[in-house]
Chains A and B, each alone.
Chain A
């Protein structure tokens, strides 16, 4: 399966700033999800957006989905040092619910 693309690969910001990460894919999807991974740890599910949805919010997280552009974005508002982690998008398509992961964005939030 083709891996999704994420940009930027790395993002360094100051605490309080917003962080935006983008994910692009090449197939039609059923769902797209965002996960977070702290260094050397497993993944934590953040938010799921379905193909018929355009925007979802969860706390300081805002996810958008543009199926015409085959892209999604994750916005973290008012970032904190504890948000430092890698963020991955993952999508499933067709009859498979097995997700394909993007390359990830490494976010560093400086206190």
Chain B
């Protein structure tokens, strides 16, 4: 099956710094990618839809200036958490839809801890 990678897998940063998370589709092209956030023992909450060559679409309640998304190529989307605070600590997961868009291929996730 298709493979989606994320980097880094784990990051610890100080409050106020910015953190960039990369999501790559390794063996297929993805004009659309999705970014999710997952708190401990909870479900995935969609944050935004990343669109190659155009602006991301953010879900209600997600600050676009805080969570910057850039989909620079057909295989790479990045999520930058700007001025991170402890409440931003979470598990961030990206996904890309399959060719027929019926299923999603998920990255392994990035654990962010803001001190």
Contact = CB atoms under 8 A, between A and B. Distances in A.
Interface of A: 1, 3, 31, 33, 35, 40-45, 48, 88, 90, 97-104, 106
23 contacts: A31-B102, A35-B106, A40-B109, A41-B108, A42-B4, A42-B6, A42-B93, A43-B93, A43-B95, A45-B1, A45-B104, A45-B105, A88-B43, A97-B97, A97-B101, A99-B104, A100-B46, A101-B44, A101-B45, A103-B42, A103-B43, A104-B42, A104-B43
B52 to A, nearest CB: 16
Interface residues of B, number: 25
B49 interface: yes
Contacts of A88: 43-44
Contacts of A33: 102-103
A40 B91 CA distance: 8
Interface of B: 1, 4, 6, 34, 41-46, 49, 91, 93, 95, 97, 101-109, 111
B46, B103, B107: residue with the most chain A Cβ atoms closer than 10 Å: B103
B93, B102, B107: residue with the most chain A Cβ atoms closer than 10 Å: B102
Contacts of A43: 44, 93, 95, 104, 106
B111 A40 contact: yes
Contact of B108 (A3, A35, A42, A98): A42
A110 to B, nearest CB: 19
